[in-house]
Each structure stands twice: as C-alpha cells, then as structure tokens.
Amino acid sequence: MSGVGKLLPSAIELEEAVLGALLLEGGAIDQIEKMVKAEMFYKDEHKEIYHAIYIMNKQNIPIDLLTTTNFLRTLGKLEFAGGAFYLSELTNRVSSAANLMYHSMIVMQKYMLRQIINISFEAQKEAYDDTSDVFDILDSTMKNLEAVRDFKMDKPEQKLVEVVQEIKQEVTTKDNQIEVLNGISTGFREFDSKIGLLLNGSLIIIAARPGNGKSSWLMAILYNVAKYHKIPVAIFSYEMTNIQVAARILAKELNVSAGDILRKNLLKSKIDEIDIHITAFNDVPLYMEDNQDDDILRLVKKIKMIVKKYGCKAVGVDYIQIIPQIVNDKKNQMSNRDLEVGAITRALKRTAKELGIPIIALSQLSRKLEERRDKRPILSDLRESGQIEGDADMVQFLYRPELYDIKEEIIYGEKVNTENLVENIIGKNRFGAHSIFIPLRWHGPTTSFSDWSNSGDLFQPNIDDSGDLPF
C-alpha cells in the first residue's frame, strides 16, 4: 500500500506473461535483458525467477521450465519463487514470446510509476521535517526524478556496415542545420580551414593564463553561431554576470569598450544606437546563466534543461576551476581539488556525448609556465588536473607574445609585429591536426577577434559568398 491508501501500480498478469515467455523460449531473454531488471517486478516471487533466468543466461545454461526449476532449487530459492508448480503455471500464461517486448515495456513503466510515488512520498516526509533544508530536498528529489526520467533501454550493438549506412544517410541529407553529422564552425576562416568543425559530442578545452582572451574567444564562437546562423547556444559563466557578458557582446556591436558600457561612460549617439541592437538581439538565440553557486551536479542538470528547452547546439562553461566544490550529502567537501576537477571534466564529457553537442569549457593554466623562458603553453600546464587532458577531445591554448615583451614572430613565413597577435595553439585534437597554431588578431578595447589575415580591427565572421556561415 502507498502513503495515500491506494495500491501501487503493477501489472501482475503481464509479469507472469513475461516470465512464462522466457520459460518457453529461453533465448528470448536476449531481447529484454538490457531493459528489464529483477527489481522491476512487483511480486517478490517474480523477482527471484527473473534473476535466476538472467544469471542462467549469463552462465550459458539452457533456459526452460525444468532447468530453471532445478537452478532455483540449487540456490535454495525455489520455495521463495513460489515452488515448482507455480513455475509450471507460468508457462500456461502465453503460447510464445511474440509479445515479449511489449509486455516488458509495460512492466518497466509500472516500475517507473512506483519509483515516482516513492520519491514523492520521501519528499513529503522530508518537507514535514523542520530540520530539513529546502534546497537539499529539492536537489535530492530532482536528482531522483531525473534518474527515473532518464531510464531507458541501452542502445543495442551495431555492426560496422550499419553505422556506415547511417553516415551515408546523414551526408546525403541536406538541410540548414549546423549540427547534422559533424558540429559547429567557429566562423573564423583561418581556424576552420586548419582545424575544421568543433565536433558534436566532444569536450573542447580553451586554456590560457589570465588576460590572454579565453572568455572573449569563447564568446566570439558562441555569438557567431547564434547571430549569423540563428542556432541556439548557451553560456554558463562562473566568472562574469549576465550583465558583464552582454556588455562584451554589445561592445563589439557599438565598437566601444565594454568597460565604458559598465561605467555608463557612453556618448549619447552610442546610447541611442543601443535600441537598434536590442531589436536585432531579438533574433539572436544566445542564452546566459550566471548562477555562481552551482556545483557540477547542478550545472549538468541545468545544461540538460536548457538544451531540451531551447534546442541549444553548443554550450560554453566559463570556467572549470571556479566551479564550486561538491558537497556529498552529510560528508565534508572533497579534500583533493585535483580529483574534483577531474570529476568535473568527466561529467562535462559525458554530458556532451549524451546530448550530442560540443561543450566548450575554459580552464586556467598553472603559474609555473611563467617561470619558463618559453611561455607558450603545453599540456602539462593545465592547472590542477591531468584528467583535463585525458577527457578533452580538443585543447586550445591562447598565447599573446606581446604580454611577455616578445616584439616579433614569424607568421605565414613572414616576420610580423606581435602587437594584437594571439596564437591559438592546438595542444590536442583527437580527430584532427594538433601541435600547430592559428594566428588571430585581437582588438583589446572591444575584446574582439578577427582572422589574422583580415586587415580590419573588429571581429569578422567567416562569411561565404552567399552570406551564410559555412557550417
């Protein structure tokens, strides 16, 4: 009985039909073993029978009425399972396993309903407890409900030819979406030509020492996608407020300093111009979240929610090292920050793969590189966790030679002045070129980027002849 005086949802007859079908056609368990677990059955007897069949299948023991009865007897569980007569009665419930999958789906759904009721009942009890924290109750309840919601049958194995056929179908289907098979373009011609797309399901790390423009580079990519191709994207900033992020974007459009906007130091003509951009921003699907108290569990939850709600095709996180530590229920905070940063990157990688979008996360670099003569970042400079390197599909380092009094560099075979030069160094690229760098032109006042070969000062998107970004 549940807490509201009603019987919990169940489908006893269908449970019997599932078990009867398995006893008649033992090999049929291969159809459902990744979906159905023993705990999903309502009756304890059914739990015991299914568990025995599951184990027999794993041990390659033939499954039928007699072998299952004998297996339960050797385990000392036959009486708990209802006895030999009950098992024989189950085989009379169905004539074959033809509807096994359909019956199993209903058994699973009834189990999910019971889980929802139990979670709600526990939430009620905690809510009546004066010592409970409301946010702990909300977090626990949402986490448990998400686990039920996300429960699904494991994806079946695929043969190589099947996967290649999917690829053929994808590449021959044309549409205007950027994400179809590959990923997103940065919109910077020189970067895209050498590196290609930021692939779906990948974790991209942009790392730099403070002042090298990593937040601005992330915003340039996301804003480019949202503005010029109307593709929804999101940024979760732990370092800046939404006002500060928006001020940087507006600064690019007004060709002023973001600092002047925040200090309210604008000419009237520029203030009047804001209205024009407000109208234009209605068509820019860029979403911002600046809740700086979220640990990685809450962040992942919010990423999934915003992707589901708005259809975001890329997500940025600024930045890894200042994501708050995780508090595990009654336990203290994790003492080893290296381990926790590793847990953060693993969670982001899993989320990118699950959602099928690129997640672009910023990372600080260790101060140790400042002690070297050559200040160009390398993978070992990633701060606090070697796990970042392992989890990342791509690692980009931003490096401004002029910050270290280096006056000249060789770019495309020519000696150039390093003023406003930013080197985007590809330290790792799981699916393409690495150990190369792409020069970018930096415009400090508006915190903007453009291709190095572009003579303009401001951010210039990579536009093809048709006026579209080449995604």
| Per-residue pLDDT tens digits for 193-215 | 888 788 888 999 999 888 888 99
* Confidence (pLDDT) at 46: 95
Whether pLDDT at 471 is above 80 = no
Q: Which of the two residues, 451 and 11, has the higher pLDDT score?
A: 11
CA distance 280 to 227: 9
Question: Alpha helix (H) ranges present in 255-364?
Answer: 258-262, 268-281, 296-310, 337-355
CA distance 456 to 186: 18
Cβ atoms 196, 181 nearer than 8 A: no
Domain boundaries, the chain: 12-149, 169-451
- Top-tier CATH class for 169-451: alpha beta
**Own/partner long-range contacts of 119-126 (Cβ < 8 Å, ≥24 apart):** 119/144, 119/145, 119/148, 121/2, 121/3, 124/3
Whether pLDDT at 277 is above 90 = no
How would DSSP label each residue in 324-355? PPPB-TTSPBPS-HHHHHHHHHHHHHHHHHHH
Whether pLDDT at 270 is above 70 = yes
* Confidence (pLDDT) at 175: 47
* Confidence (pLDDT) at 10: 92
Burial letters 119-135, b for 16+ CB under 10 A, else e: bbeebeebeeeeeeeee
* Confidence (pLDDT) at 234: 92
**How much is the average pLDDT of 366-383?**
83
Whether pLDDT at 334 is above 60 = no
Least confident of 16-30, 221-235, 451-465: 451-465
Q: Which of the two residues, 173 and 10, has the higher pLDDT score?
A: 10
Cβ atoms 426, 438 nearer than 8 A: yes
- Per-residue confidence at 297, pLDDT binned at 50, 70, 90? confident
pLDDT digits (tens, 9 = 90+) for 145-195: 877 876 655 555 555 556 666 655 655 554 444 344 477 888 888 888 888
Whether pLDDT at 263 is above 60 = yes
* Confidence (pLDDT) at 251: 83
**How much is the average pLDDT of 247-252?**
84
pLDDT digits (tens, 9 = 90+) for 234-246: 999 888 888 888 8
* Confidence (pLDDT) at 313: 92
Burial letters 343-382, b for 16+ CB under 10 A, else e: bbbbbbbebbeebebbbbbbbbbeeebeeeeebebebebb
* Confidence (pLDDT) at 152: 56
Whether pLDDT at 382 is above 90 = no
* Confidence (pLDDT) at 213: 87
* Confidence (pLDDT) at 51: 93
* Confidence (pLDDT) at 385: 61
**How much is the average pLDDT of 431-455?**
80
Maximum average pLDDT range among 185-189, 293-297, 345-349, 404-408 = 345-349
**How much is the average pLDDT of 374-379?**
86
Q: Pairing relation of β-strands 414-417 and 408-411?
A: antiparallel
How would DSSP label each residue in 417-469? E-TTEEEEEEEEETTS--SEEEEEEEETTTTEEEETT---SS------TTSS-
Name the residue with tokens 């400079």: 381
Cβ atoms 200, 183 nearer than 8 A: yes
Least confident of 7-11, 423-427, 434-438: 434-438
Q: Which of the two residues, 41 and 33, has the higher pLDDT score?
A: 41
* Confidence (pLDDT) at 49: 95
Same fold? 12-149, 169-451: no
Whether pLDDT at 81 is above 60 = yes
- 355 — phi, psi (to 5°)? -85, -20
* Confidence (pLDDT) at 171: 53
Q: Which two tokens stand for residue 231?
A: 């593709």
The CATH architecture one would assign to domain 12-149 is Orthogonal Bundle (1.10)
pTM score of the predicted model: 0.63
Which of 364, 320, 363 is CA-nearest to residue 343? 320
- 277 — phi, psi (to 5°)? -75, -30
Question: In this prediction, what percent of the chain has a pLDDT beyond 70?
Answer: 84
178 by DSSP, 3-state: which?
coil
